[in-house]
Amino acid sequence: MSEPALLEVRDVHVRFRGGGGAVARAVDGVDLAVGHGEVLALVGESGCGKTTLARAILGLERPVEGEVRYEGAPLVYRTDALRRYRRSVQMIFQDPSGALNPRQTIYEAVAEGLRIQKVAGAEEPLVADALGRAGLRPPERFFALYPYEVSGGQRQRVVIAGAMVLKPRLLVADEPVSSLDASVRGEILQLMLGLVHETGISILVVTHDLGLAWNIADRVAVMYLGRIVEQGTTEELLDAPRHPYTQALLSVVPEKRGLAQQILQGEAPDPTRVPAGCRFHPRCPLVASGEAKRLGIEERCRGEDLALRPVSGAAAGSAHVAACHAVG
Amino acid sequence: MNAAPPLLEVRDLCVTYPSGGGVPAVRGVSFRLDRGETLGVAGESGCGKSTVAGALLRLLPRGTQVTGEVLLDGEDVLAMDAERLRAVRWTELAIVFQGALHTLNPVKRVGWQIEEAITTHQHGIARSELRSRVAELLETVGIPGRRAADYPHQLSGGQRQRVLIGLALACSPHLLIADEPTTALDVMVQAQVLRLLEELQRDFGLAVVFITHDLSTLASVCRRLAVMYAGRIVEEGPSDQVFAEPRHPYTKALAAAFPIIGDPRFRLAPSGLPGDPPDPRELPAGCAFHPRCAVARPECATRGVELWPAGEGRRAACVQVLDEALP
């Protein structure tokens, strides 16, 4: 590929200082790229660092190591440069009610971004166009309404219109539908896919929901304790997962049928105490069952950290990678 | 001799909230549940599913109008006096809500909270016995007994939800009402809690009414499923069949909104349902679903619907099922 990806994350680390001086390695060396017109799902459980990574991509967190590159150039952490950047890269949050000011009309909510960015030209046609694209038609009917006067699904459409009004190139959507009812969820996901087809926008969707990934994503990256542990096309990853963590996650979602359940014990581990070796080994079914020992890799699982590597048996040209000593 | 009554039989339950001139949240719900059985109640926000849960335990706000019967072992919960109701709650039926952080008292140790539930219903229990009973309950729900000394904030979200389940089991009820018990939890923790509920159901013959918006979870953990829309059950039957071959157009749309991973029909094809559920104060005439229904007929706007037989052990409130019943 000669053309650079729209967005590139190179070996990004974000750390937080917690209580008692402990350092949380929230994002611990992530490489990721989002292509033009691509939908990438970043999947993981709470505490895995996916929201921190999204914030780093938006320039809201400054990596202590590594860099975020947009159209081939690293982000510049200066107020004016970041403001320009955020015109191209917009964020959608989980809860549309929290994202909207209850005292602002829908028109004002959508126009706000235009004003912050000091976009020249007539404002009203832009607002109307954005609302229409977000499926709120006729847009004029919604101008004077307040958020509480429309349904939850319509509120999320208003949030999407507010992001799209600036004609961004990348949308970072953090759990965009998890607070919505199932039937509404499908409608919003359809809208997002439609935007990709119509405008060529790229979407990075941060979610815990693997069914959502199957519904809209071209590629999936699975994050565990600050690292991407597996990445590939949606079909590769969800039809033939190779990392034991991805396999376990898939086995417990009711949307995936016919897999024996592998329930991992304990909860999301602590980023202030990242285990040595493969960071997943304390919960890994391969280690617990003795399979890792049989394969002769247990010592490496416990002692040797590892990067993503191509999985064996993948088709030529495949970019399916996993960070597991048993893979590749 | 008559057969023993079912553990729970709900007959024509109607609930109207007093606000704004009366909001009919539940409009004639009937179902039954045998000992050790699991029933899933599915539906989206505002369909009345949590109101049903509240009505079963009489936990609804003062002034709410509740009619019909909730027969627990043949005795009507709605007709019990306060003393009888107190005796029945916890010992016969108990509830687990979502949001465990808000249900537990933040300034009391979790062990103390379980002790309190036990002593309220079992006076004069010896101190040492109480201690061991608490530890045993915690172990049952997969938490080391020594964690009884912890405060809620010292436990993780999944552990708090386990404590709540332990609390609900404190007086060995026969029926557990679980209202969105896993909604705020991560998938892996959700799987742990669901596995726990399955084990409890199997080991103690516990009957569970499982209420959630998540149709796909219900289909995997409950034997039978009831789907609610606008205050009524619109479809019920064995859960795998209801999910895989829905008979009501609403169930069909809802099931399609839960993609099956690996199934090409759902790949890059999210499915939803246009429109919004009706305002309970302004319900459409005829079938309440007809304005959003993809296969509505002219008669649906006027003709009332009821749960008609729709195959072996199944019922659906849609005129379509009548077509097939004709000779």
In tens, the pLDDT along B73-112 reads 999 999 999 999 988 988 899 888 775 556 788 899 999 9
Q: For residue A54, count CB atoms less than 10 angstroms from its CB and return exposed for 0-12, middle for 13-18, buried for 19 or more.
A: buried
By three-state DSSP, how is residue B4 classified? coil
Nearest to A214 among B214, B220, B261 (CB): B261
Q: What is the pLDDT of residues B198-234, one digit of tens each?
A: 888 888 889 999 999 888 888 888 999 999 999 999 9
B216 touches chain A (CB under 8 A): yes
Rounded CA-CA distance B210/B223 in Å is: 11
Q: How many CB pairs under 8 A join A and B?
A: 116
Interface of A with B (CB under 8 A): 45-46, 151-153, 181-190, 193, 208, 210-212, 214-216, 234-235, 238-239, 248-250, 252-257, 261, 263-265, 267-268
Cβ separation A208–B186 shorter than 8 A: yes
Return the percentage of chain B with pLDDT > 90, whole number: 58
- Domains of chain B (ranges; CATH) run 8-92+173-325 (3.40.50.300)
What pLDDT, on the 0 to 100 scale, is given for residue B279? 87
What pLDDT, on the 0 to 100 scale, is given for residue B266? 95
- CA of B265: how far to CAs of A99, A214, B123, in Å? 33, 10, 59
Q: What is the pLDDT of residues A192-246, one digit of tens each?
A: 999 999 999 999 999 999 999 999 999 999 999 999 999 999 999 999 999 999 9
What pLDDT, on the 0 to 100 scale, is given for residue A258? 77
Cβ separation B271–A264 shorter than 8 A: no
* Residue B184 pLDDT greater than 80, yes or no: no
Best residue in B261, B265, B273 for a mutation probing chain A (most A CBs within 10 Å) = B261
Measure A151 CA to nearest chain B CA, in Å.
Answer: 7
B240 touches chain A (CB under 8 A): no
The residues that bridge with A39 in the sheet, in sequence order, are A203
The alpha carbon torsion through B6, B10, B12, B16 (nearest 10 deg) reads 170
Contacts of B157 in chain A (CB under 8 A): 267
Nearest to A181 among B158, B195, B213 (CB): B213
Helix axes B249-256, A182-199, angle to 10 degrees: 50
Best residue in A48, A197, A252, A259 for a mutation probing chain B (most B CBs within 10 Å) = A252
Q: What is the mean pLDDT of chain B?
A: 90
Nearest to A254 among B217, B253, B256 (CB): B217
List the single residue in A with minimal CA-CA distance to B143: A266
Best residue in A95, A212, A214, A237 for a mutation probing chain B (most B CBs within 10 Å) = A214
Rounded CA-CA distance B255/A183 in Å is: 9
What pLDDT, on the 0 to 100 scale, is given for residue A98? 79
Q: Which of B181, B191, B192 is nearest to A254 (CA)?
A: B191
In this prediction the pTM is 0.90
Rounded CA-CA distance B139/B152 in Å is: 16
List the single residue in A with minimal CA-CA distance to B218: A254
Q: What is the pLDDT of residues B309-318, one digit of tens each?
A: 999 999 999 9
Domain boundaries, chain A: 243-322
Where chain A has pLDDT below 50, the residues are 1
Q: What is the pLDDT of residues B128-159, one digit of tens each?
A: 999 999 998 898 888 888 999 999 888 887 88
What pLDDT, on the 0 to 100 scale, is given for residue B300? 97
DSSP-derived secondary structure for A252-306: H-TTS-S-------S-SPPTTSPPSSSTTGGG-HHHHTTHHHHTT-HHHHHH---
- Alpha helices by DSSP H, listed for chain B, are 49-56, 82-91, 100-103, 110-121, 127-140, 157-168, 187-204, 215-221, 239-244, 249-256, 320-325
What pLDDT, on the 0 to 100 scale, is given for residue A1? 47
Contacts of B213 in chain A (CB under 8 A): 181-182
